[in-house]
A and B are shown apart, each in its own frame.
Chain A
Amino acid sequence: QKEVEQNSGPLSVPEGAIASLNCTYSDRGSQSFFWYRQYSGKSPELIMSIYSNGDKEDGRFTAQLNKASQYVSLLIRDSQPSDSATYLCAVNSNSGYALNFGKGTSLLVTP
């Protein structure tokens, strides 16, 4: 079973700060990486995808990928209380058709 590991948190940051969420994966053959946000009682919502080494920015979100270190991260700049949620890291499986999900990191942004 290919593993996707995340710190469960909670990660607490003050409003306006940068939140840094980390994820490691075990399958060196993985090619596609995703971050989902899940509010309590709701379904996961795709917020970022990244396929090549380096950084990818979208608004306040930046995804970072380092395939050599098997590490993907999500930075949230100017964090807002509305960013408080669980963030799930997902990596494509060796079947190519499915994703392996981490257990998620709970983020709390305090006013």
Chain B
Amino acid sequence: NAGVTQTPKFRILKIGQSMTLQCTQDMNHNYMYWYRQDPGMGLKLIYYSVGAGITDKGEVPNGYNVSRSTTEDFPLRLELAAPSQTSVYFCASTALAHEQYFGPGTRLTVT
């Protein structure tokens, strides 16, 4: 199993551009999550999904959108990128809604 994979690893965006961060898991987990981590800070939940077709907002959803059309994939969309979205983004998944397993992360810079 590859576990949780994320692409790209690094990306630089200009202000106002859009992009999609990809997340795929091959463990048949129902629950998937997107977090962002700023330097010296903990993980902040952006969006989560409890199954295909079901998503909900987390603590910091503004400026982001998600979809969950399959069990495996949970892409995160950034519209109109802003410098405040410069961060490291982690995707995670779990079968049990608690013991979450993380992907390697995407380091995003918006300039």
By beta carbon, the residue of chain B nearest A31 is: B98
A103-B41 Cα distance, complex, nearest whole Å: 5
A30-B42 Cα distance, complex, nearest whole Å: 18
A34 at the interface (CB under 8 A from B): yes
- Return chain B residues, CB-CB under 8 Å to A4: 42
Mark contacts of B25-69 with chain A using CB atoms, 8 A cut-off: 1 yes-contact digit, 0 otherwise. 000000101010000111101001010000010110000000000
Q: How many residues of A contact B (CB 8 A)?
A: 22
Binding site for B on A (CB under 8 A): 1, 4, 8, 32, 34, 42-46, 49, 88, 90, 92, 96-99, 101-104
Binding site for A on B (CB under 8 A): 31, 33, 35, 40-43, 45, 48, 50, 56, 58-59, 90, 97-105
